[in-house]
Structure 1
Amino acid sequence: MSEFKQGAQARDRAPQSIGFLLLDSFTLISLASAVEPLRMANHLSGRELYRWFTLTQDGRAVSASDGLQITPDAGFDTAPALDMVIVCGGVGIQNSVTREQVLWLQAQARQGRQLGGVCTGSWALAKAGLLDGYECSVHWECLAAMQEAFPRAAITTRLFSIDRNRSTSSGGTAPMDMMLHLIGREHGRELVAGISEMFIYERIRNEQDHQRVPLKHMLGSNQPKLQEIVALMEANLEEPIDLDELASYVDVSRRQLERLFQKYLHCSPSRYYLKLRLIRARQLLKQTPMSIIEVASVCGFVSTPHFSKCYREYFGIPPRDERVGQGTANVVRLIPAVVGESLIPSSTAMAALSRAQGESSFASVRL
């Protein structure tokens, strides 16, 4: 559908009404990240595209995880008609969901409402049986517990998941990405680009972006040697260390090394090392102006064709297409400032590389 037709249809629609169910100790940043794109969509379009309401079970004030109290717009008995309900979770989610909330969410589902969750809000939906057979996202701290508690839900490490009439995201600013995608579906990419510029949000992440789950969270504290090996790999992406050398650094045999990776990371050491290099390459392609040849070199690939082959096999697209994709809705470039007749240059490729190298690598993408 063209942007023009989308805009014409949007003008004929009633505003979409969204209720945010605030659980005890919800995270305020996740709520703000979900609400603010709606506000800006209304502002930039000059029309009331969205209405939103905060809800609690009994209509009483609720405390966020940072201690701030929010007085909701309504309780369950006085809630307005809604098109969508988004559960805002946070700290201690396992003990935050009440029977009354579960029953209310189930009633909303029976009435055909769209349902969503941000941060750990997915837990409430899963507890109500409303994510069975759906792909869903949740904050990484809750990931393992949720996988154990709700095996019928397809829980992923993605930043957000939109599966039919269920929209769930992890925490922090990830709800903003999810809401921007929902807004884009309804009202077009031009509006989304405008919202992103207003928030100085330079790259809209998509459903293929994963949370950066700290390795030690996945392994616990019982595998210090494996954590040390992975740290060595992360620090030596440009010139990969031979696996025998890695094993000797942490005083294990090559066979022990292989067993550790297979048991806890479900792949061989060489495969995991390759994954780290490819993930770093993807960061550089998306976030820096470095050429594909430069990216291949700093990620330890001896030739560009070999790099392209590995990249395509892992991500499903060649590096060139990854870079071309940045000209679409997934990336919003702000207009650079002008000084005199020249543009202020952006960060250099090496500075961007330095920043990227400072980020931790994580085991959120399984091979």
Structure 2
Amino acid sequence: MARIKHVNQETHQILDEYGRTRFFHGTNVVMKEAPWYRPFEWTPGVSSFGERDVQNMQDLGLNIVRLGHSWAGAEPIRGEYNQTFLDIMKKQTKLAEEHGIYVLVDVHQDVLAKQLCGHGVPDWFVKKDWVTGFRRFPFPQKLKPFTTDRDGFPSPQSQCNTIDWSLSYLSVAVGNAFGRLYNNFDGLGDAFAAYWKKLASEYVDTTNVVGYNLLNEPWAGDTYADPTLLVPGVADRKALEGLWNRASKKIRMVDNDTLIWFEGTTFDVLSGFNNVPLGDGSKTVHSFHYYNPPQLGPLKDTLYNRHKDNVRLKTAGVLTELTFWMGDDKQMTGLVEAMSATDANMVSWI
């Protein structure tokens, strides 16, 4: 397989090592609970990622998978990496390579932590006393805080089923936790960057890795401490940009070539970043999503805005998640329209 190492800053397209423009069509594979990886064995009705799955992808003409590499699974004890987990992820990555499929290494999160009815960071990340009193999670989605065990995890866990997870980003506790990550409280930003250095050291010589997706759907930060972060674009430069640079510097200590994929907040209209991570758009890709809401118009509007971002930031952009699911006729029609829009705009999708 040809290695992917460069972005043409004039055409805003991804190039392989032979200078050819490459387009990617694929899917996401993420396990959002322990053991944090999909089983290799194919079983009807069970989400897996093994030989049969990659063969099916190849047969369908797909050529990329955005593969979740959970920080929670990789560093269960602070400063100690679970090499067994990382070896399993590497095995799945190499399995994809054997079938001509590229892999985007993705550190995935949704609502950040188990203490917040989400996933992503290790259990040691969020501390129970960060938010106290009535403002504890999930305030203000609910006025009465969830009961928790001694470690701060909701107990019973079934409480998490009583709230809308997507609205949990507006809770005081979730914003507080993201703010601490961005502000490097207790070295948490450094720990995140160190994890990326570890991942990069694992994959620096892996032919089918197209890039490192720094963090899935990062929230704006502590919007209660700084409400301006809720203005589209503001959080990109005030909160996210520093962490992306911190992680990218660690990656470049061990890997100078692999493209760094970065995301803005999910509710951006136009990106607010001052620059791409480390300032080199030829070595980065803007990873973006389309969901309606928070996007208000059709996909073609988002693609137009992301192209404007590409021109300003001198980089490429790839649609790495989108809202349509296989189901009824309306959903399938929407999916066809989305694929037509991406093709018309020469945008890869995952």
Q: Which has the larger radius of gyration?
A: 1
The structure showing larger relative contact order (alpha-carbon pairs under 8 Å, at least 6 residues apart) is 2
Richer in helix (by share):
1
* TM-score (norm. length: structure 1): 0.27
Q: TM-score, normalised by structure 2?
A: 0.28
